[in-house]
Amino acid sequence: MKRNTLFVLIALGLGGVGVANAQDASSWYLAPRLGVVAPDSARTTKNSAFAGIGAGVWVNPNLAVDFEYGINNAEFKNNSPRFGHQWESVQLDVAARWFFGEIGSGWRPYLMGGIGALRHKAYSGSLLEDAGYASGGGWDPMVTAGVGMQYNLSDRVAFRGEIAARYDRDNNSLNSPVAQSQGFNRHSGFTDGIATIGLTYSFGGAAPAPTPKHEEAAPPPAPPPAREEATPPPAVAIDLRGVEFKFDHPRVGEKLVPSLKAPTADSVQILDEAVDTLKRYPNVHVSVDGYTDSVGSDAYNEKLSERRAKGVYEYLTEHGVDASRLDGPKGFGKSNPIDTNKTAAGRQRNRRVELKVESQ
């Protein structure tokens, strides 16, 4: 009978607890944003709207690099000789953002620094035509530095808010004949303030593991001879593949089911099958062990894996499995991987909860 029990438990093996990690080091993303530019007073322009988009990639869990495009058109102030016209700019840059905290955290502050170029077109409309000047402008180098905060809304989408200073080595706008003809002194170099909000949408990373088809277990083999019953069966790890969590869940104090990734019915069905099997074999004792992949620090992964194991442990006890039959919950972080952590598929398998048979 002991081996019959073991056979049924082996047949119930159902794989890893899959947790999609936004901002996995293997993922890239798009980052549209909107905001406002507070210009250097020497430009004599009004505050203006800013729009931009970036394509970024995670170099490691803390460093992201964005290739960005931005544009803003500002009207000149009423006291400017160029009132009624616009100062136009197009921005191209590469920006690095260093994020603090763990990759799975909800809120992550960051520092930003970038380098690029701005194309200026400081005059437009009838002023150019009346003055007889050609439409002028040009590219000048620029650097940016700022701070921001990112909040992960889901495993793919995050919100960003950022404040930055942009130094623009502009030697076109106030160094042209048109500017001097309007009474402006020659001037190069402006520092503008930029505040933006936006979203990031991540691509790549680990693909969700398909929910396995549940097949009825084969009939158990005939009972072994009595002399073999004295031999204890080997320990068996029972994975719960298909039980998938939302990004960075469960949070502290959160129950298991609300933390499951939609659709939750498939995950609940797998857990209910485990409950049913343990009820039918009351002599079986298991250890509830949680694991993560290698992304993130040891300390964070240990706590995350323990929360996942605790969620499964509480689900089993709340559905009638006696706590005396369960050892744990235990969190082992990224230790004991069952696959490589160098690929997205391997990391997906390593994010799991196991029911390890200890005795029968």
CATH number at residue 237: 3.30.1330.60
End position of a domain, from candidates 203, 226, 244: 203
50 shares its domain with 83: yes
Write the CATH number for 162: 2.40.160.20
End position of a domain, from candidates 177, 203, 229: 203
Q: Which domain holds residue 328?
A: 2-21+211-359
226 shares its domain with 321: yes
pLDDT at 16: 33
262 shares its domain with 118: no
3 state SS of 175: coil
What are the φ/ψ torsions at residue 79 (nearest 5 degrees)?
-90, 5
The DSSP output letter for 324 is G
Encode pLDDT of 118-148 as tens digits: 887 765 544 444 444 444 567 889 999 999 9
**Which residue has 């616009």 as its token pair?**
86
3 state SS of 333: coil
286 shares its domain with 352: yes
pLDDT at 74: 84
What are the E-state strand segments in 61-130?
Answer: 63-75, 86-99, 107-121
**Two structure tokens written together for 76:** 């000149």
281 shares its domain with 142: no
**Two structure tokens written together for 114:** 């970038």
14 shares its domain with 32: no
Encode pLDDT of 214-273 as tens digits: 455 566 666 655 544 444 445 555 667 767 776 666 777 777 877 777 677 777 888 888
Q: Would you mind telling me the total number of residues written for the chain in this entry?
A: 360
266 shares its domain with 350: yes
pLDDT at 228: 45
pLDDT at 185: 60
235 shares its domain with 103: no
238 shares its domain with 156: no
pLDDT at 19: 33
What are the φ/ψ torsions at residue 57 (nearest 5 degrees)?
-140, 145
End position of a domain, from candidates 143, 177, 203: 203
The DSSP output letter for 43 is G
49 shares its domain with 151: yes
Q: How many domains does the chain have?
A: 2
CA atoms within 13 A of residue 261's CA, in its CB half-sphere: 21
Intervals of the chain under pLDDT 70:
1-26, 80-82, 84-85, 103-104, 122-137, 172-186, 204-239, 242, 246-249, 262, 360
pLDDT at 163: 96
98 shares its domain with 48: yes
Residue 43 CB neighbours (<10 A): 21
220 shares its domain with 278: yes
Contact 216, 7 (CB under 8 A): no
Q: Report the distance separating Cα 166 and Cα 151, nearest Å.
A: 24
